[in-house]
């Protein structure tokens, strides 16, 4: 079964692309920043696991075990570097910020070349993203962090698109927005005497699309016996999938004070009257 990318992974990809746009936008003020800006992107920016948000030193440790380039005598991970991690926020966005559609709507995705009729619902979601810039030059680290905060004051830069993997090999782009237009860098304490670390946190909100009808294995992963296209249970056994081997052995009918019992071994069915 082909597993599509999770919504968090899709958002992380889009966020890293936004950082690439920032790197092109920023102006180096030191030799360190110039090296960071002109280095191949994969050697200058990296995405980290969600669990590393608020743990800048763990981010750097993970980066340092990366083999970015073969050099004489081994491999190296370059500094300066900007690392980022994204974590889902448990509390969904307020309906005043963004509102989803919890029921399935019949529609056609505008970018689908096959023009398939699908069903779509949207889930409001929020993510916390953190960037951490590591440099051995304090002025360099402060400059890049300040420039990133200035970059995010542009409304156009705070809005970008996420390419969500909807299943069946189909990808569609949806808007996401950084809420804050006034950010502040934080100096992250660390045990390295020659390392300066500045972090910036943002909150992003957007709609996560759920689509049924594009095909693929994950379209069929539903509650046993439930048809998402009709919203009804199906089958002759109360919606249970016969392959599950489940059998109703007792049912009470309150309006008739009657109980029906089924023997799972013999298949015999009996009825009895129960007290009201």
Cα separation of 210 and 174, whole Å? 12
Six token digits for residue 129? 């993203």
Averaged pLDDT, 53-76: 69
Q: Which of 218, 242, 213, 214 is nearest to 229 (CA)?
A: 213
CA atoms within 13 A on the CB side of 59: 29
Taking 50 as the threshold, does the pLDDT of residue 74 lie above it? Answer: no
149 alpha carbon, distance to own chain's centre: 23
What's the DSSP call for residue 93? P
4 alpha carbon, distance to own chain's centre: 11
Phi, psi (5° rounding) for residue 161? -115, 145
The whole-chain average pLDDT of the chain stands at 79
pLDDT in tens, 5-56: 889 999 999 999 999 999 999 999 999 999 999 999 988 998 888 888 888 8
Q: Which of 45, 47, 29, 50 is nearest to 78 (CA)?
A: 45
pLDDT in tens, 89-114: 888 888 788 889 989 999 888 878 88
Report H helices in 152-224: 155-158
More confident residue, 163 or 254: 163
pLDDT in tens, 125-158: 999 999 999 999 999 999 999 999 999 999 999 9
**Helix H or strand E segment including 31:** helix 31-38
- Beta bridge partners of residue 133, listed in sequence order: 82, 198
């Amino acid at each position: 079964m082909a597993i599509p990318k999770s919504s968090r992974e899709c958002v992380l990809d889009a966020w890293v692309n936004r950082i690439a746009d920032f790197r092109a936008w920023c102006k180096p003020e030191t030799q360190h920043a110039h090296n960071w800006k002109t280095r191949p992107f994969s050697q200058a920016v990296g995405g980290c696991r969600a669990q590393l948000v608020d743990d800048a030193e763990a981010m750097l440790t993970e980066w340092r075990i990366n083999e970015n380039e073969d050099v004489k005598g081994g491999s190296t991970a370059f500094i300066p570097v900007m690392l980022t991690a994204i974590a889902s926020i448990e509390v969904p966005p307020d309906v005043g910020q963004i509102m989803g559609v919890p029921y399935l709507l019949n529609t056609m995705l505008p970018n689908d070349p096959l023009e398939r009729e699908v069903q779509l619902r949207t889930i409001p979601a929020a993510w916390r993203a953190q960037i951490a810039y590591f440099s051995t030059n304090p002025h360099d680290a402060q400059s890049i962090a300040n420039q990133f905060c200035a970059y995010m004051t542009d409304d156009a830069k705070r809005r970008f698109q996420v390419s969500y993997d909807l299943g069946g090999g189909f990808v569609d782009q949806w808007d996401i927005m950084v809420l804050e237009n006034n950010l502040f860098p934080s100096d992250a304490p660390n045990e390295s005497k020659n390392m300066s670390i500045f972090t910036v946190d943002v909150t992003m909100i957007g709609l996560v699309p759920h689509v049924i009808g594009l095909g693929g294995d994950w379209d069929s992963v539903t509650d046993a016996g439930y048809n998402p296209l009709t919203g009804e249970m199906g089958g002759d056994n109360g919606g249970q999938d016969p392959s599950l081997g489940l059998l109703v052995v007792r049912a009470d009918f309150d309006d008739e004070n009657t109980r029906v019992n089924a023997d799972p071994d013999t298949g015999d069915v009996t009825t009895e009257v129960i007290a009201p």
